[in-house]
């Protein structure tokens, strides 16, 4: 089986969809030279500058342009270099892209993919490391996915491009160069289903993106201590695949949500509330959340380590939940 890097998965997804559908176009800053990480390298040479549009640094207008191209029949993929910069494009994203289908009574369709790169790695500090997914799960009309591995980077991006609604595609910078096997490179998965990464019986760990790998490490450690953890990789953050979560919790009776984003008001709050609403009778403990403290992302490596949750914390939290 072939192994590829996460960024190669992203590039291959874009290439394949551009090959199969001429309405797919790419817009973003520096995309003609591959962007800062090389995801879009080689695209302009293959598909030309009418389909790979290198834009000025004008986030709000690029978001609006991509939306205006989408409602006229294109399938734009827009690259926002760092999710931190999407703050500049919030009006077009939230007021137009997310709402045009609804406000037009279904006349308009916005098949748009917004690629956003995020995550706290390497001490890039407070304006290049945020995890902002909580903002967008609150906006009706948007979808959101966050792949944890190269195979999903490839498959979910293809699914996102084919989807007829705006999809925020959250890439983790700390995963760009990890390699994974691609079991079935030809398949395009469903955009909205969670995946059970590791089956287990005592505790459900609900997580996504890079934290999946901290959970995997934690599960190995927990197994040594006699606790069998089931890891659910959400993949889709909006909508949430509640069926998979609830079925798991009904078996394990314990749920722990782990994300890199700030805990306060984060996605974990929504997940926790929904589990308690639908599976309260099955729970043996409150649903717990692990995430970053209520602080901006620090630059110092020591502080960054203290900011991002890790396997050790997951193990400790799980042990407390299960008890002796």
Partner 1 sequence: MSGRRNYEGVAENSDILHRDMLQRMWLIRSFEERVIDLCHRKQLAGLVHVGIGQEGVAVGVATAMGDDDYLYGTHRSHGHFLARGADPNGLMAELAGKDTGCCRGRGGSMHIVEVGRRLMSATGIVGGTIPLALGTALVAREEGNVVAVYFGDGASNTGSFHECLNMASLWKLPVVLVCENNGYAEFTPMSAHTVVSHVSVHGQPYDMASQIVDGNDTLAVLEAARNAVVRARDGGGPTIVECLTYRLRGHYVGDPESYRKADEVDEWRGKDPIRRFTSVLRDRGAVTARDVRRMEESARARVEDAVRFMQESPWPSSASVADFVYA
Residue of 17, 29, 128, 214 with catalytic role: 128
Q: Report d(CA 158, CA 205) in Å as an integer.
A: 27
Among 74, 173, 253, 259, binds partner 1 (CB under 8 A): 74
Q: Closest approach of Cβ 294 to partner 1, in Å? A: 30
Q: Closest approach of Cβ 60 to partner 1, in Å? A: 5
Residue of 17, 29, 59, 260 with catalytic role: 59
Comparison of 25 and 315: residue with beta carbon closer to partner 1: 25
Given a contact cutoff of 8 angstroms between Cβ atoms, the answer to whether 123 and 77 are in contact is no
Q: Closest approach of Cβ 236 to partner 1, in Å? A: 13
Comparison of 156 and 321: residue with beta carbon closer to partner 1: 156
> Does residue 252 belong to the site contacting partner 1 (CB under 8 A)?
no
Given a contact cutoff of 8 angstroms between Cβ atoms, the answer to whether 147 and 93 are in contact is no
Hey, what are 218's tokens? 């934690």
Q: Report d(CA 70, CA 109) in Å as an integer.
A: 7
CA distances from 45 to 42, 141, 281 (A): 5, 34, 58
Q: Which residue has the tokens 């960024």?
A: 7
Region of 101-109, 120-128, 253-261, 268-276 interacting with partner 1 (CB under 8 A): 101-109
Q: Closest approach of Cβ 75 to partner 1, in Å? A: 11
Beta bridge partners of 257: 206, 289
> Does residue 75 belong to the site contacting partner 1 (CB under 8 A)?
no
Comparison of 74 and 253: residue with beta carbon closer to partner 1: 74
Question: Per-residue string for binding with partner 1, 9-28, x by CB under 8 A?
Answer: ----------------x---
Region of 69-77, 144-152, 225-233, 313-321 interacting with partner 1 (CB under 8 A): 69-77
**Length reported for the chain:** 324
> Does residue 104 belong to the site contacting partner 1 (CB under 8 A)?
yes
Q: Closest approach of Cβ 69 to partner 1, in Å? A: 4
CA distances from 89 to 55, 59, 127 (A): 14, 5, 15
133's CB contacts (< 8 A; 6+ apart) are: 144, 146, 168, 170, 237, 259, 261, 267
Q: Is 59 a catalytic residue?
A: yes
Region of 6-14, 63-71, 255-263, 290-298 interacting with partner 1 (CB under 8 A): 63-71
> Does residue 319 belong to the site contacting partner 1 (CB under 8 A)?
no
> Does residue 168 belong to the site contacting partner 1 (CB under 8 A)?
no
Given a contact cutoff of 8 angstroms between Cβ atoms, the answer to whether 167 and 143 are in contact is yes
Hey, what are 58's tokens? 């004008």
Q: Report d(CA 92, CA 274) in Å as an integer.
A: 30
> Does residue 221 belong to the site contacting partner 1 (CB under 8 A)?
no
Comparison of 162 and 247: residue with beta carbon closer to partner 1: 162
Hey, what are 307's tokens? 């900011």
Q: Report d(CA 41, CA 178) in Å as an integer.
A: 18
Among 12, 40, 92, 209, binds partner 1 (CB under 8 A): 92
State the SS3 of 123-167. Answer: CCCCCCCCCCHHHHHCCCCCEEECCCCHHHHHHHHHHHHHCCCCE
Q: Is 128 a catalytic residue?
A: yes
The residues annotated with a catalytic role in the active site are 59, 128
| Binding region for partner 1 (CB under 8 A) | 25, 50, 53, 55-56, 58, 60-74, 76, 91-92, 95-96, 100-109, 140-141, 143, 163-165
């Amino acid at each position: 089986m072939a192994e590829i890097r996460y960024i190669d998965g992203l590039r291959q997804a874009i290439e394949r969809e551009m090959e199969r559908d001429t309405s797919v176009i790419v817009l973003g800053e520096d995309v003609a030279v591959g962007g800062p990480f090389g995801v879009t390298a080689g695209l302009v040479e293959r598909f030309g500058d009418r389909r790979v549009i290198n834009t000025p640094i004008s986030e709000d207008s690029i978001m609006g342009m991509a939306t205006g191209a989408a409602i006229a029949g294109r399938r734009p993929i827009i690259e926002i270099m760092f999710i931190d910069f999407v703050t500049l494009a919030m009006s077009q994203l939230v007021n137009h892209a997310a709402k045009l289908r609804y406000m037009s009574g279904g006349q308009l369709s916005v098949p748009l993919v917004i690629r956003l790169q995020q995550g706290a790695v390497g001490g890039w500090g407070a304006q290049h490391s945020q995890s902002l997914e909580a903002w967008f799960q609150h906006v009706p009309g948007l979808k959101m996915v966050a792949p944890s591995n190269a195979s999903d980077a490839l498959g979910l991006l293809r699914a996102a491009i084919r989807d007829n609604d705006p999809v925020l595609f959250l890439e983790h910078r700390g995963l760009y160069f990890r390699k994974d096997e691609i079991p079935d490179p030809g398949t395009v998965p469903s955009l909205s289903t969670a995946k059970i990464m590791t089956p287990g019986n005592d505790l459900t760990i609900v997580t996504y993106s890079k934290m999946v790998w901290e959970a995997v490490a934690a599960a190995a450690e927990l197994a040594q201590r006699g606790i069998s953890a089931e890891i659910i990789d959400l993949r889709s953050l909006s909508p949430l695949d509640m069926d998979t979560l609830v079925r798991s919790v009904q078996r394990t009776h314990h749920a722990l949500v782990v994300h890199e984003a700030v805990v306060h008001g984060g996605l974990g709050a929504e997940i926790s509330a929904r589990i308690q609403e639908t599976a309260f009778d099955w729970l043996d403990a409150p649903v717990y959340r692990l995430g970053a403290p209520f602080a901006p992302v620090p630059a110092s490596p020591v502080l960054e380590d203290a900011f991002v949750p890790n396997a050790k914390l997951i193990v400790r939290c799980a042990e407390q939940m299960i008890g002796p």
